[in-house]
Chain A
């Protein structure tokens, strides 16, 4: 079962929370651990052309870099918004 763009269920997704005043945070999860709705959202984001999420005016605005690694190679997209299940992954912690 594929989520789109050649990313298969065994693939890993790495989510980097970037741009925040407090610095970056990173999380990684297997795609098959995500619910179908989140997988569908992820596929839709990866299908979009690379957006200039980091180029919005201002400073310290949060954006996310998503990298899927697996059998389909490496795919990356930058987005300003994430579905809740993915958004919670790179939360700040100590």
Chain B
């Protein structure tokens, strides 16, 4: 697998941590030795966590300088793992995902490749890190035994998908926009370091929604006036949700609509600073959809290029506000020689003064 190079010194362990843990369990007749082994194991685990955190930070810092153009080289490989309803990641490797009898495996494999194609063809980007990082996806994940998992997430290194509960949600891999959304959290990780709370967290979420929705439109050849192209999570809604006319998680054109399982504010005036990042993202989402529909055509053209430029290359501060972001999109439009007037109007329509 093609992994980024880490230049910082590694902490290596001669005795594997799992062996330390196992030894500690078996030394019941020597409490002092057992305590020592347990203590060593705990310290080892803390070092591993610290090492991983530092590795991610170093990767993000190092790769952000490459944002301007995709690095030449092979496209990312696409690896699929099966968690088999357990929480251990990445799970069991799937040898031939393209021909798997598991429809979820085939779907994630094919759609993840399409997202990589979208990054390359539309954004001139080589994978989430712009350096060809291999894409790893784990399916059939459960956080706890015997509990359905109603979520999908990017864990800093890979995508993880639950199967849903079969009632409210189906498998979280059943919406192309969700797959694009999760992968794009990886792009944000490498390109902007936005904090995952408050307005900056809402911007982080919104960028993933924007890329996910536009990827879905691109995949289907839909222009911006197609309403279905602005729904997030339409494919993952289960029978109970659909029976109650909950047809999506979010609607970027009409974020407060009753057909949304998780309605959002459509104006900055309705923003609750303490709300979850998936709520306040409705404001920048609506600004993007409004702008894309105002200019017409394909959203992956000027609108996506502007949003991508504003969101990448460390242009955003860690605690950026929605107004900061609006100004960033105007600067991006100017840099791309795009008329900023309809963009400014879109921001004003959601009560954001750029």
Would A61 and B197 count as touching, CB distance under 8 A?
Answer: no
CA distance A84 to B181 in the complex (A): 29
Interface string of B247-276 (1 = CB under 8 A from A): 001100000000001100000000000011
Residue among B150, B165, B188 having the largest count of chain A Cβ atoms under 10 Å: B150
Would B185 and A60 count as touching, CB distance under 8 A?
Answer: yes
A8 CB-CB contact with B under 8 Å: no
A1 CB-CB contact with B under 8 Å: no
Would B151 and A21 count as touching, CB distance under 8 A?
Answer: yes
Interface string of A51-66 (1 = CB under 8 A from B): 0001111111110000
CA distance A62 to B87 in the complex (A): 14
Number of A-B contacts (CB under 8 A): 96
What residues of B have a CB within 8 angstroms of the CB of A93 in the complex? 168
Would B156 and A21 count as touching, CB distance under 8 A?
Answer: no
Choose among A19, A23, A62, A87 the residue that contacts B261 (Cβ–Cβ < 8 A): A23
Interface string of A13-28 (1 = CB under 8 A from B): 0001011111110000
B196 CB-CB contact with A under 8 Å: yes
> Are A62 and B151 also in contact (CB < 8 A) when A54-B197, A84-B144, A92-B169 are?
yes
Would A23 and B246 count as touching, CB distance under 8 A?
Answer: no
What residues of A have a CB within 8 angstroms of the CB of B165 in the complex? 92
Residues of chain A at the chain B interface (Cβ within 8 Å): 16, 18-24, 54-62, 84, 87, 91-94
Q: Which 8 A-B pairs have the closest CB atoms?
A: A23-B262, A59-B185, A57-B156, A60-B153, A24-B276, A58-B156, A23-B278, A58-B155
28 pairs of residues in contact across A and B, judged by CB atoms under 8 Å? A19-B196, A19-B277, A19-B278, A20-B278, A21-B151, A21-B152, A21-B233, A21-B249, A22-B151, A22-B169, A22-B249, A24-B262, A55-B195, A57-B53, A57-B56, A58-B153, A58-B155, A58-B189, A59-B185, A59-B189, A59-B208, A60-B182, A62-B153, A92-B150, A92-B165, A92-B168, A94-B244, A94-B246
